[in-house]
Chain A
Amino acid sequence: MNGKIVFGQYYNSNSWIHRLDPRVKLASVLLFMICLFVVENIYCLLGFLGFLFILIITSKIPFVKFLNSIKMMTFVLILTFILQIIFRNDGELLYSFNFNLTYLAIGIMVALLILWLLFSKYIKYLKNLVLIILVASVFIYQYYVNFGGLITIYNIDIYSGGLLMGSYIVLRIIALLLISSLLTLSTTPTELNNALEKMLGFLKVFKIKVSILTMMMSIALRFIPTLINESDKILKAQASRGCDFNEGKFSERIKQIISLIVPMFVIAYKRAYDLADAMEARGYVPDRKRSSIYVLKYRLKDYLVYAFDLGLIAACIFVKVRYAF
Chain B
Amino acid sequence: MAIIEVNNLTYRYTKKKYALKDVSFKIERGEFVSIVGHNGSGKSTLGKLLCGLLQTKHGEILIDGIKLSDDTIDEVRQKIGIVFQNPDNQFVGVTVKNDIAFGLENRNIDVDEMEKRIKKYATIVGMDEFLDKNPENLSGGQKQRVAIASVLAMETDILIFDEATSMIDPLGVKEVTNAIKSLKEEKTIIYITHNLDETLMGDRMIVLKNGEIVLDEKIDNAIKQKDILTNSNLEPLEQMELIELVNKNNLNRKEEVEKVLWQSAYQK
Contacts and interface: CB of A to CB of B under 8 A. Distances in A.
A292 interface: yes
A278 B90 contact: yes
Contacts, number: 90
A288 B105 CA distance: 11
B109 A190 contact: no
A143 B18 CA distance: 78
Sorting the interface of chain A by its residue count into under 10, 10 to 19, 20 to 34 or 35 or more gives 20 to 34
A282 B150 contact: yes
Contacts of B91: 222
A281 interface: yes
A270 B90 CA distance: 12
A4 interface: no
B6 interface: no
A159 B106 CA distance: 61
A206 to B, nearest CB: 25
Contact of B134 (A10, A274, A278, A293): A10
Nearest to B97: A293
B88 interface: yes
B94 interface: yes
A222 B108 contact: no
Contacts of A188: 94-95, 98
Interface string B135-167: 010000000000000110010000000000000
Contacts of B134: 10, 12
B49 to A, nearest CB: 12
B98 A293 contact: yes
Interface string A242-281: 0000000000000000000000000000110011011111
A295 interface: yes
A318 interface: no
Contacts of A289: 108
A164 B173 CA distance: 62
A226 B136 contact: yes
16 contacts: A188-B95, A188-B98, A189-B94, A221-B94, A222-B94, A274-B89, A279-B92, A280-B53, A281-B51, A283-B103, A285-B106, A290-B105, A291-B107, A291-B109, A293-B98, A293-B105
Given A281-B81, A282-B150, 9 more contacts: A277-B48, A278-B90, A282-B102, A282-B151, A284-B102, A285-B74, A291-B109, A293-B104, A295-B111
Interface of B: 48, 51, 53, 74, 77-78, 81-82, 84, 86, 88-95, 97-98, 101-111, 114-115, 118, 132, 134, 136, 150-151, 154
Interface of A: 10, 12, 188-190, 218-219, 221-222, 225-226, 270-271, 274-275, 277-285, 288-293, 295
Cβ-closest 10 pairs across A and B: A274-B89, A282-B103, A293-B101, A283-B106, A278-B90, A290-B105, A291-B108, A281-B82, A188-B94, A284-B106
